[in-house]
Structure 1
């Protein structure tokens, strides 16, 4: 009788154990796939940061150039046109910098969300 009960318990537990093993294998594969995306995303963020920093230097240079010609704005119409062109160039560079900064922030926010999801579902507590 006890053998029959034991056999019934094992018969019921076997599908659950195999389902847990399959689920664990899928979970492991999902976690490995998630972690494999981190390095490429970090490299992309580094490239975005470098491009943003380079653009910030360009904006600084164009701002100084505009400041230099703005001083002479009232000297003549030609000087005023030169100052207007320098200001427009500076404003365009600032707009590019803002676009780059927002793109960088979006990429960092997305990576942080990926890290958080990985930590919540894949990282083990020790």
Structure 2
């Protein structure tokens, strides 16, 4: 029987990163503020982005009973907060993709919505 730690060590050494390239500083003014939108089922959400420095930011995700605070790393105009992915698509526009678990079946699906920022 193989040693589990040696298997993990070998896998760690041979695993490639999921994205290539380095993190680079972003335009803080393009991200800061309150982004709002609605999912297809009518559920509203709000993403507040603050303290953008370099490629790091503080984010608050809020959607009907769910509130998440997180420090994020911005890369390729996107970041993840909880089960949601924020992707900036243009000036004051973004796409939000959220993994939702159906309570009745236990299955998951991807809910996509669009967010805008009031300036």
Check whether TM > 0.5: no
- Normalising by the residue count of structure 1, what TM-score does the alignment of the two structures yield? 0.21
- Normalising by the residue count of structure 2, what TM-score does the alignment of the two structures yield? 0.22
Between structures 1 and 2, the one with greater strand share = 2
